[in-house]
Amino acid sequence: MKTLILLLALISTTLTAQIKTYAVLEGGLTKWSHSVYSNERRMLAASDPVSFYSNMLIGFKYCNFHFENSIETFMNKGHAQTFNPILTEYVANIFYDFGKIKIGYEHSCTHPVFNAREDFRSNMYRASYDKLYFKMMIGND
């Protein structure tokens, strides 16, 4: 039993040493537009705001396998020194890195963020996608 525990501890330590973690924090300004239409195709509202955004990506790598998750939130300036989040995008990505070639799977979904009052955001953009991909880098590193 002691041998089994020591063997499992050794394997666990070896695997943990091979797992590399990383994170990326990003923020800035973005300009995006959206429109809300009625069932009769009449435009009910339109907006073309400059928004603040923040993005946090967390990932880990084991050998050449990468597992990543990111959350990006778009915010409008609120009253005084506050921000109103309006839209959040979630992305999960798994890929194998062969060097200049990457093969992977990515899932993304976007959701509006509601505040205390339900306004036209309830009609805002909702989307999701799943993709299998093959990326090839051409040129020198």
What is the rounded CA–CA span in Å between residue 98 and residue 18?
17
R_g of the chain computed on alpha carbons:
21
β-strand partners of 53: 28, 74
* Strand 19-31 to 65-77 pairing: unpaired
Q: Can you tell me the distance from the alpha carbon of 102 to that of 92, in angstroms, rounded to the nearest whole number?
A: 15
pLDDT of residue 30: 84
Q: How far apart are CA 13 and CA 124, in angstroms?
A: 48
- The reported pTM is 0.71
Mean pLDDT of the chain: 80
Q: Which residue has the tokens 């063997």?
A: 7
Residue 23: per-residue pLDDT: 95
For the chain, residues with pLDDT lower than 70 are 1-2, 4, 6-17, 33-38, 41-50, 78-81, 114-125, 141
